[in-house]
Amino acid sequence: MPDHADSPDYDQTFPPELELALAHTAAPLRARLAAVFALDQRLGRIVSATTEPMLGQMRLAWWRDMLGTDASDRPKGDAVLDTIGANWADEETPLIQLVDAWELFVVAEKLTAERLVTFAEGRSAPLNHIAPMETGDSSAGLAWALADAAARISDEGERAVLIETGLRLARAKNSRPRHLKGIGVLDALAIRALTRGGRPLMEGRGASLTALRAALFG
């Protein structure tokens, strides 16, 4: 079930927080990170548009199958899949984890804290693949994974669980090397959004200052 027939191309404009993250990421890594964001946005749209869980699972399964296929054997023409082939060939395992993470929102009857931890770890897996930490820290993108979901969700009870879980997993201070400042900017904005009740990451005048501080001081 090819997924690109009714979806915008990869070269769409990203949300401002993702544009900031890309702007503060070193050029050699920017295309890889952009491919992650493009796939994440596509998967999020699939989940948001799903009214029948089985159909949603089928669309996500197509992505899982494509990512498990050698890049040279994949169909051409889907802009997201093509850029993944150009930037993530033979390293698709974290991207499959991203698909699995989004599937939790399709199949789970209730968003428990345990399931949300699994979601956050899967959604942030590509970021942690890009940003391995010498300390063994695997927190890159955890706060963003949940803060962004909290800002999208309408159910107040589920949003509360997302916020609580996000704040528990978040690292208030986690310096990144200069070439990975973009991920630090994203997590700083996410922590701010969580502490403000799951508001959009770039809402309010303080968002730009938060991003600037993270970019300058890590």
Domain boundaries, the chain: 16-217
Q: With residue 110 as reference, give the H or E element that holds it.
A: none
Q: pLDDT tens across 110-125, in order? A: 889 999 999 999 999 9
Average pLDDT of the chain?
A: 89
Q: pLDDT tens across 147-182, in order? A: 999 999 988 999 999 999 999 888 655 567 777 889
* 24-to-27, 44, 183, 203 alpha-carbon distances in Å: 9, 24, 8, 19
Q: With residue 106 as reference, give the H or E element that holds it.
A: helix 93-107
Mean per-residue pLDDT, 92-115: 94
Q: What one-character DSSP code corresponds to residue 72?
A: G
Give the closest residue to 215 by CA, choosing from 169, 179, 190: 179
Query: In this predicted structure, what is the pLDDT of residue 132?
Result: 66
pTM value surpassing 0.85: yes
